[in-house]
Structure 1
């Protein structure tokens, strides 16, 4: 004999549960902080509301319903005690004087076999009270007129109609409580939103300042503000900015001295070689000295990194036209496609040097060059394609290293010193962008420059 047992459902992995929870959580710090503040308030008000309504319907509503049912039972008892016309009239008149009920007797009437279905908690509470106090067939009609309830009770000789005002059965405290809860919640939410915005604003300013510094832009009018922790982060950011600027200044000053110290002996060497006259040995030495000068200039350009140049709104299309025109004058065939109005904060001279290095590199190793610039999703992309031999994929990371040279004939710009792509990437990254290499659809190398707007 075999029995089939249903397989127990596999529990959801904790990682999936965490991912599902994060999917519904706010992504911003403002939203999460507001959720932390608002959630306890909502839970507290929900508990308070549940307790209030539980006690309200158990006490106040029951008490009001049983009071109305008691008055009806008293009227019925008085009518049964003195069923004469004089006694009936006296009972109805006394009820009208001492209560808010409007009582009439309809002789010969009967209740329908199927009374209207009860709806809502109030009707059910009143029905319970009538069952306990009146103990006669009855029907409740809450839609006969506004702010009045009709209670019809079957009597031996007719139907007793009782009109009760709504205030006898319903207390406005529920509406007051709801308005108070909603009003207090709105006030708390407003205060929380204002408070959290004031707390988040310094963090946003710090993030914007850090982003601007990463893009090489000047950070002006930034000062520490907000909570203590945010102020500490802002002070650390300002100190970091000062250290970076100080290092750039020191490097520039040092390179100015190095440039002077290196150029002076090289100049003397060139003069000495010129005085020696002509000869194969002298020509070789002059070639070496010239190559040393080019390497020093390339090294100084790389190390300087245009750190002292300020960022300013620059027409990138104009710079592209100038660089392309310069390369065309050197005999290169270049096709340029760039829309007007490509303006963004740049260091003009550094950007010009970066593009000139890339186009010079493409000119040295290809017959044709294609340059295209376009704006896309908050970035400006510059594509430089050539039809040269390209660069192997395994060497595309190494070519950005200073003084790196390929074994093949394709070397970087700056006279083949191995600094063209290094300087280009240094300039692009100083603007918060990046530069990547890939295969060109024209058969050579594609250089992609992506700059944030």
Structure 2
């Protein structure tokens, strides 16, 4: 990535709303700037030059009147007449001389134009002041026998239409930007609703009752595609569950007949071994069916206190084991959760911990984006290269080094079939979260349950 790309990525907005608004506003601002610049340099410059030349011509005419009528009532009458028709005030101060301080620095367009006009028409020394009075432009012209004071109304040398044009241009631009903002906000609202519906579906909150496609044609197409995808997912899950329920029913019938036949047979070591095999087969069938159902996928999510759910599972685990189980963290943490499914998920993890450890710590860590439940133990743990294997269904790690079984649970009724962590991960992902394994500060394994808020 080049430095320019990095700078643009830092400056430019990241949201679709911001980028769309920028695509509308940027050309509008450029057009406004160019229009104002060209109008200022062309129209305003020409208008101001013509107006200042007209005023300079009136002043030059007055200077000629004073030169031809140096005194008397005729000169005064002509000055009053010029003042009436030109709207310029004249004040002749005989015997006065302008101070020899040089010309003031010219800064504004009006001063620049007025100076150029006076130089081209009057041909006499003068002092120009276009700043001190907001209503008048004051000019002192040096004559042979005195100073001619001139007060020119500012409206004679400036055009008000220039400011009106600029204000109209800015007003129209702001109006268009406001309309664009409202239009884009309405379009983005449809995308936000679609994003919220997709996020809820990913978190297992499959409630699309208030969602319907809206907005532009492309947004509606995406919304319809999302609804069709959701329906296909539901059909696939239902078909899988129905198929496995049928398989389970078909397998239960011969298993039941085998149990009855074994019960009628006289007790013997062979019969006891066969009964154990039948019980194990029954547990495997029940466990596979529970795993395939998605573990609580049909249970509605409700707003519950996660701290109380964790406390209930911990208290139950304490009654089933001699291991030390400590509970830390927040006392209250409200979150949308499937209570039965989460109890089973947490029960599977805690049961796996107390099976191989003497001390277990359960910690609740609330956050802005998610709530984490940490389960630490001081057991043998699971090597990092085997942690992915631990989540595979029917995968046990008892024979691969450290004893850490990927299965069983307090609430499941399925022991030793290698489904505990697989079901736990299925439950967490059904809530839009995840589960991961890390090294524990206690020396064993840390299981992190990450549940989105």
TM-score interval (norm. to shorter): over 0.9
Segment drifting more, 158-167 vs 411-420: 411-420
Aligned partner of 2:190 in structure 1 is 202
Establish whether residue 53 from structure 1 lines up as the match of residue 12 from structure 2: no
Aligned pairs (5 A) from 1:18-417 = 18-114=5-101, 115-217=103-205, 218-305=207-294, 306-331=296-321, 332-406=323-397, 407-408=400-401, 409-414=403-408, 415-417=415-417
* Number of residue equivalences: 440
- Residue 338 of structure 1: CA displacement? 4.2
On the 8 A contact 1:65/1:126 being kept in 2, the answer is: yes
Aligned partner of 1:451 in structure 2 is 451
- Residue 124 of structure 1: CA displacement? 1.0
User: What secondary structure is seen at the aligned counterpart in 2 of 1:413?
Assistant: coil
Aligned partner of 2:412 in structure 1 is none
- The structure-2 alpha-carbon separation of the partners of 1:157 and 1:173, relative to structure 1 and needing over 3 Å to count, comes to same
- The structure-2 alpha-carbon separation of the partners of 1:342 and 1:283, relative to structure 1 and needing over 3 Å to count, comes to same
- Residue 42 of structure 1: CA displacement? 1.2
User: What secondary structure is seen at the aligned counterpart in 2 of 1:36?
Assistant: helix
Segment drifting more, 423-432 vs 55-64: 55-64
On the 8 A contact 1:216/1:430 being kept in 2, the answer is: yes
CA distance in structure 1 between the aligned counterparts of 2:236 and 2:302, rounded to whole angstroms? 22
User: What secondary structure is seen at the aligned counterpart in 1 of 2:229?
Assistant: helix
User: What secondary structure is seen at the aligned counterpart in 2 of 1:220?
Assistant: coil
- Residue 310 of structure 1: CA displacement? 1.5
User: What secondary structure is seen at the aligned counterpart in 2 of 1:224?
Assistant: coil
User: What secondary structure is seen at the aligned counterpart in 1 of 2:41?
Assistant: helix
Residue by residue over 1:36-90, the C-alpha shift from the partner in whole angstroms, topping out at 9 and shown as x without a partner, is: 1111111111111112111223311001100110000011112212223334323
TM-score of the superposed pair, with normalisation by structure 2: 0.94
Establish whether residue 432 from structure 1 lines up as the match of residue 432 from structure 2: yes
CA distance in structure 2 between the aligned counterparts of 1:242 and 1:265, rounded to whole angstroms? 35
- Residue 293 of structure 1: CA displacement? 1.7
Residue by residue over 1:107-132, the C-alpha shift from the partner in whole angstroms, topping out at 9 and shown as x without a partner, is: 11111111433331101110000000
User: What secondary structure is seen at the aligned counterpart in 1 of 2:2?
Assistant: helix
Consecutive unaligned residues of structure 2, counting only runs of 5 or more, are 409-414
- Residue 193 of structure 1: CA displacement? 0.4
Segment drifting more, 309-318 vs 36-45: 309-318
CA distance in structure 2 between the aligned counterparts of 1:87 and 1:157, rounded to whole angstroms? 17
CA distance in structure 2 between the aligned counterparts of 1:64 and 1:192, rounded to whole angstroms? 40
TM-score of the superposed pair, with normalisation by structure 1: 0.94
On the 8 A contact 2:377/2:440 being kept in 1, the answer is: yes
- Residue 405 of structure 1: CA displacement? 1.8
- Residue 182 of structure 1: CA displacement? 1.7
CA distance in structure 2 between the aligned counterparts of 1:20 and 1:396, rounded to whole angstroms? 41
On the 8 A contact 2:344/2:424 being kept in 1, the answer is: yes
User: What secondary structure is seen at the aligned counterpart in 2 of 1:248?
Assistant: helix
CA distance in structure 1 between the aligned counterparts of 2:168 and 2:44, rounded to whole angstroms? 18
User: What secondary structure is seen at the aligned counterpart in 2 of 1:191?
Assistant: helix
CA distance in structure 1 between the aligned counterparts of 2:347 and 2:430, rounded to whole angstroms? 17
CA distance in structure 2 between the aligned counterparts of 1:429 and 1:260, rounded to whole angstroms? 28
CA distance in structure 2 between the aligned counterparts of 1:94 and 1:273, rounded to whole angstroms? 136
- Residue 402 of structure 1: CA displacement? 1.0
Segment drifting more, 292-301 vs 432-441: 292-301
Segment drifting more, 407-416 vs 18-27: 407-416
CA distance in structure 2 between the aligned counterparts of 1:269 and 1:355, rounded to whole angstroms? 35
Aligned partner of 2:411 in structure 1 is none
- Residue 349 of structure 1: CA displacement? 1.2
CA distance in structure 1 between the aligned counterparts of 2:31 and 2:349, rounded to whole angstroms? 65
